[in-house]
Structure 1
Amino acid sequence: MTILVTGSTGNIGKRVVAGLVGAGQRVRAMTRDPVAATAKLPAGVEVIHGDFERPETWADALNGVERVYLFSYVDPAPSSGPGFIETAVEASVCRFVVHSAAAAGFEYQGDPEDTTLSAFRRHLAEEREFHRGIERAVEASGAQWTHIRMGLLAAGSDWAEAVRTTGTVRAPFPRSGSSLVHEADVAEIAVAALLTDEHLGAAYTLTGPEMVTQEDQVRAISEAIGKEVTLVELTPEEARTEWHDPAEGMDHEIIDWILEQLEASVRYPGPVPPTDTFERLTGRPPRSFTQWARDHAEDFR
């Protein structure tokens, strides 16, 4: 059996690859940059060029594949021709494990085009519709499926460069928090869903074990690297000024929803409450942010 991993060099994808290799599986990694990917992935992995935006690359990537870890940037409803999901099923794929997001399981958040909604509610609506669109396409394909809906990833932190170069984190709402999930937890459940039949037809929301504030995160990073990291509190206005960078995609609308999310996250349990999903499935508590900081200490040194 050959298993295709898309998004294979990302924080979760590369761990899915490693978990499958460790289980003795034949793994094919789809990537837009095979040379760079080969250097990052375990020996024995078949690395092949493939791009969701270039249908001509799909046949080679899907040849002989039975199961797919499906990264979320696939287009579930292309304007012309069969999409990746349909092409995969026509090739030989009989199971998808979908890299999704917690927002897909939220109650209806409104119309993403409704300008009367706050920036954060529009963002949640957009996230929900995007990820549910992929999930629905997979469900309609006739293939077996499992959806892995993750909360905010601990690996989503963008503080590493600032900690390395200045020893300082500058952030608004330092007491805001989230139940940040370790990417290893997500990959562990994804590998189990790819290899066993125990998770067919399930949609799992995975989070960390508890709400961790930005102050807690800085403290954990400091302890992990053995060096004091200073948290400087910004006002929302100061954050708007520092973050605004259209060249990097940080326009005012994005900044608005991030600030609104942070403000909402000051109050427990925040927009994504901790779940017991990982513990129910494994019998072990989720990995903590403290563990994540230790695992990634070199990123911050």
Structure 2
Amino acid sequence: MTSMHIEIDLAAQTLHLFEEGRLIRQYTVSTAAAGIGEQQGSMKTPRGRHTVRALIGRDLPQGSVLRGRRPTGEIHTPELGAQHRERDWILSRIIWLSGCQPGFNRLGPVDTMRRYIYIHGTPDDQPMGVPGSHGCIRMRNEDVIDLFARIRPGIDVLLLEAPAARQRYYVAAVPVNSLAALQAQLVAAQDGLPASPVASDDHPAWALWRGDGQLQALLRLQAGSGLQIWQHGAGEPTAWFALWPEAERAALARGWREVRLLLPANQPAPAGFEMIRTLPDAVLWRHWLAA
């Protein structure tokens, strides 16, 4: 079975289909008029790594109208469009996307699938190459039919602000039920202080996602005024520093006076931490929080 994936360049308003790493199709698209974002109700187009969750509309005639992911039996015409100007027309085919990055574009208020973000056909009078949708990725009807016929459910879809954004980092709060699965993705665990013996479910955590959808680091704030860190072994040694401001704000909100951190001896701590103890192959650091 060949390996296929889709990349959508949100800046250039183009969709690229790759097979075995080779570009085989390029289409002009239209993404959200409101811009880029993941929040429910934002009317924005999400970023990051996704997968094709479902393909809907196979064998429908070109221009078929779909509402609630079901064909209405109508075929879009200029006359029909003029009669129902209020409709956000979804035509011909639906390629339903699901996010793959918990806390960034999957689960909770950022869940792409629950936001009903599709790649779909649109009326011929709608412009391509400029943002204009309500969050979805619009295509010409003949283009979405062509793309639909070439792909299968489960292929990867990467939505990028621009090609250079592959190396950009994004911070996202991690849903509690996703932390263990994300930890398993990281090849080198760098543990912080052991958990406090005080029972607590209040363990907020944050993930550092790269623009190409790769998980770079996790940081968890745990009872007992400690941090736990997991970081991709091939990543920047201090990439997780980008997560520290979120943990500091959360600790302050909980009324904590200090946060402690145990790191390997060759790992520096973020600015504001002071060394309080040297241990075999490790250093214990402390950060005093603002009163």
Which TM class, normalised by the smaller chain length?
A: under 0.3
User: Under a length normalisation based on structure 2, what TM-score does the superposition of the two structures give?
Assistant: 0.25
